[in-house]
Amino acid sequence: MPELPPALAEHLKQDVTTLCHCWRLTLRDGAVRGFTDHDRPLTVDGTLFRPESGFSASEARRSLGLAVDAADVEGALSAEDIREEDIAAGLYDGATVETLLVNWKEPGQFARLRRAVIGQVSRRDGRFVAELESPEAALDQPNGRTVRRSCDAELGDARCRVSLDVPAYKASGVLIRMDGGCARVAGLENHDNGWFAHGVLTWTSGASKGRSERVLAHHKGLGGTILNLWRDGAWEVAEGDEFTIVAGCDKQFSTCKAKFSNGLNFRGFPHLPGNDAAYNYVTEGQRFDGGPLVE
């Protein structure tokens, strides 16, 4: 149980209380939004909490030890505050939620009940349910490096060290037409098929300016260049929207050497023998001199 301020603790002793819950939502980009189950807006601890979302909370528990506790918050999908396409696109994944207990008659009397991270979010019939995971949930996640053949660095990060600012690895274009996850674009005609596969596209104009999407495939068609995008809940885009795109990497050692000349910084273990090598039969023509399996 969190420690309550003396004024709020005294209020809880009364026969009649004026309490409500407030939720302060902090997105990964630093944006802060406030919601409350009260019927009027409240300003608490410097944050405006709005009632229009219809937030409500399930029963929560707090366990001793390292057990992962969870609670749910439910609310309506509001066009102004919480939109279904934003949830589907992962905008709220990993967001931090603080639950406050507030005396709505005296908003200065409040206590932080818990701090949690949004886990799974489900959507149904114009409503959403977000599961709030306690900080101990981070202890249940894989951490550290995994020994595998493919690279575990992100192209262009401090471990990879490839500079994506050079013209060969970065380009700009404009959207001609969007059909589901298939984008027909202009401006990439000088690049080979597959050059931007596994890359990242960032919109620089339009309603989705500043948002990024992963490129699954890149090829040239009769009507222009086609990009297949990972669109789990599509961003709002329209004809004429501009974007930048960076080259993609499939995390293979051969690609790292041939495409980026970056084999020395490869963050995988390409010479690791697999089960096929362990259980393979000796046949004529194979090399068994102890040398690397991948050059």
Find which of 61-70, 73-82, 95-104, 134-143 is predicted with most confidence, using mean pLDDT: 95-104
Where does a domain end: 104, 139, 174?
A: 139
Q: What is the pLDDT of residues 6-35, one digit of tens each?
A: 999 999 999 999 999 888 988 888 888 888
Q: Which residues pair with 123 in a beta bridge?
A: 128
Note down the domain range covering 200. Answer: 151-265
Residues 133, 193, single domain; the answer is: no
- Looking at residue 42, what is its pLDDT? 92
Residues 69, 178, single domain; the answer is: no
Q: Does the global pTM surpass 0.85?
A: no
CATH label of the domain that carries residue 157: 2.40.30.20
Residues 217, 247, single domain; the answer is: yes
Residues 134, 155, single domain; the answer is: no
CATH label of the domain that carries residue 75: 2.40.10
Residues 184, 122, single domain; the answer is: no
> What's the farthest any 2 CA atoms get from each other in the chain?
89
- Looking at residue 53, what is its pLDDT? 61
Q: Sort 147 into a burial class: Cβ within 10 Å, 0-12 / 13-18 / 19+.
A: exposed
Asked if residue 79 belongs to a domain, the reply is: yes
Q: What is the pLDDT of residues 205-224, one digit of tens each?
A: 988 888 888 999 999 877 78
Tell me which residue of 162, 174, 156 sits closest to 263, measured CA to CA.
162
Q: How many domains, in total, are found in the chain?
A: 2
- CA end-to-end distance (rounded Å), the chain: 59
Where does a domain end: 74, 108, 139?
A: 139
Asked if residue 276 belongs to a domain, the reply is: no
Asked if residue 272 belongs to a domain, the reply is: no
- Looking at residue 76, what is its pLDDT? 53
- Looking at residue 288, what is its pLDDT? 66
